[in-house]
Amino acid sequence: MVVYEEKEARLLAYTRRVSPEDYPEGLAYSVHLAYSRNGEQYHALHGNYGILFAEAEISGEDTIVPKGARNPRILRLPRGGFGILADRVKENGETEEPEVALLWRTRDFREFEAAVAMEKKGPEWEALWEAAKDAWQELHFVEGETVQGSAMEISPALCDRIVQRWTQIHNTELRLPERVRISGEEQLRAVAAQAVYSDGSTACKRVCWDTEGIDWKTPGTYRVRGKVCSREFPFPLLKGYGDPVIFPWQGKWYFLGTNDNRNDVGIYVREADTVEALFEAQEHLILGVDEEKGFIQTFWAPEFHVIGGGLYILFAVGGKVWGPQCHLMRLKRGGHITEASDWEEPVKAVRRDGSPLSPDGITLDMTYLRAGGNSYMVWSYRRGIGTPKDTGSMLYIARTEEAEPWRLAGEPVLLSRPLFGWENVSGTINNEGPHGFVKDGRVYLAYSGGAANGYTYVLGLLTADENQDLTDVSVWRKSGSPVLSFYSVKGEYGPGHHSFYVDEEGNLMIAYHGETALESHLRCDGIRRVHFDIQGEPVFDLSAERDLAPELREVMLQVEVEEK
């Protein structure tokens, strides 16, 4: 018997060259990872998008000072585990004074602790540099680009686990029973396929069976063809609509969004019997311009929410002087969504004491969360927009009560700021558009960063235990890199400002807007299924082709028809 020696794999850490047109400084100056099975050919992880980003600093005037990372080195830490050491640099890649290093610790390169910043002096730095100074630095060819990086040998088993974590999953097989015994057509319709994915996770898929050759009155064995049915929504579904929301209510489906085609003036709703039909349905104006009430411009990001049994629309609107503020509008008892007169007067969101939510800035993108028996509002707040004292948009959270959801029941708490390069890229300092769901005791709050109507728009993710006090910032975990970007699905640029809904088959779906080209600024809408990976974590970038492989869609089944 011949025994072949299994070669060690290699992991490469590197930064990319800046490309102002399609990969700007905020993205390029981050730590990227690639792997090699033979030490020669390297394959980028995370789609060649950055994985580790330096956090910005906050200035004395409460503004964000973006940072980047360069010259990453992989090392084995003296006390066990691994580390990635990099130089912290200015946003444009220039060296800082004094020089600062960043250290990310990890056990397996799948999850990383938050970076620790330290000046390049003292015993701690000297010990790290001693371990990292000889890290193998060479030029490598990754995805058509020559990069200089630090490579380290790792075991094939560890490499497999890293690849699983940082590579997009895809459908690998479909499983069906070899035969079924049934007595009628309804029982056959209930036979579903199990889709299996590259990470070992699964999903149930409905099958459309061709029953033409079956004589249900005659017992016997039949070979039946079927086609696996998976709802696919082409991109784009609508052009000129941002911040899409899909919502089921009393047997109908409804669509809301920021209407760019009407200069963001007015709230329009669509109604249809199916989600697919919404995109051909008539628009109904339910809230228009009213100068007396101060509803004049920026009718932004309307969302449906059921709060305390009542149906509300949460949205932002501004008056003659630009400055959108969060409002809530409730549907009258027995009212119809598409009838403007069936909605109560909009109410401005206020603090517990009735004072303005923001006396010195703008508020927008308010969403509602019900978790752990408590109600919360999350929204975006920004001061000094368009001035040197621009704080960037920040996410705030506060408790509310179902009886008066427009009045906060607790003090607002800062939840997240756009500190990473993918959130503040090219001056677009945004944390906005939050919308979440609860599954298996966990709260998942996705939000948007980057340019709201450009290709750098992305989704980030905040997670927490639903039974914790969600106004305690320490219970939340923030993703270090985006969970959806323009590198996620081919032909979709700047995906962001999303919402979630559950379809008729029980699938969690995500609606979002994006652009159709790198240089486009026309927001368009898309929908796809949210998958849950082998760890139970949500996957937002599963394209239709990776959700269900085209070559696997045709199936066969042996059916034994029993006598009734």
Burial class (CB within 10 angstroms; exposed 0-12, middle 13-18, buried 19+) of 295: buried
528 Cβ contact list (under 8 Å, min separation 6): 233, 509, 510, 540, 542, 543, 544, 547
Segment 114-123 long-range contacts (CB within 8 Å, at least 24 positions apart): 114/55, 114/480, 115/52, 115/54, 115/55, 117/88
Q: How confident is the model at residue 39 (pLDDT cuts 50, 70, 90)?
A: confident
Please name each of the domains of the chain with its CATH number. 9-166 (no CATH), 171-230+550-561 (2.60.40), 241-547 (2.115.10.20)
- Rounded CA-CA distance 552/195 in Å is 10
Pairing of strands 179-182, 554-561: parallel
The pLDDT tens digits for 501-558 are 999 999 999 999 999 999 999 999 999 999 999 999 999 999 999 999 999 999 999 9
Kindly state the tokens that stand for 501.
């809904």
The pLDDT tens digits for 444-487 are 999 999 998 899 999 999 999 999 999 999 999 999 999 999 99
pLDDT of residue 124: 87
Residue 25: its H or E element? helix 25-28
The pLDDT tens digits for 221-234 are 999 999 999 889 99
Max CA pair span of the chain: 89
Angle at 291 between CA 342 and CA 298, to 5 degrees: 80
The pLDDT tens digits for 316-359 are 999 999 999 999 999 999 999 999 999 999 999 999 999 999 98
SS3 sequence of 311-365: EEEEEEEECCCCCCEEEEEEECCCCCCCCHHHECCCEECECCCCCECCCCCEEEE
- Look-up: residue for tokens 């705030």? 396
Closest C-alpha to 191, from 201, 202, 182, 199: 182
Name 414's bridge partners.
396
The one-letter amino acid code at 402 reads: E
Angle at 119 between CA 113 and CA 124, to 5 degrees: 70
Q: How confident is the model at residue 6 (pLDDT cuts 50, 70, 90)?
A: low
Task: Say whether 162 sits in a helix, a strand or coil.
Answer: helix
- Tell me the average pLDDT of the chain: 95
C-alpha distances in angstroms, 166 versus 35, 282, 469, 542?
A: 11, 42, 31, 14
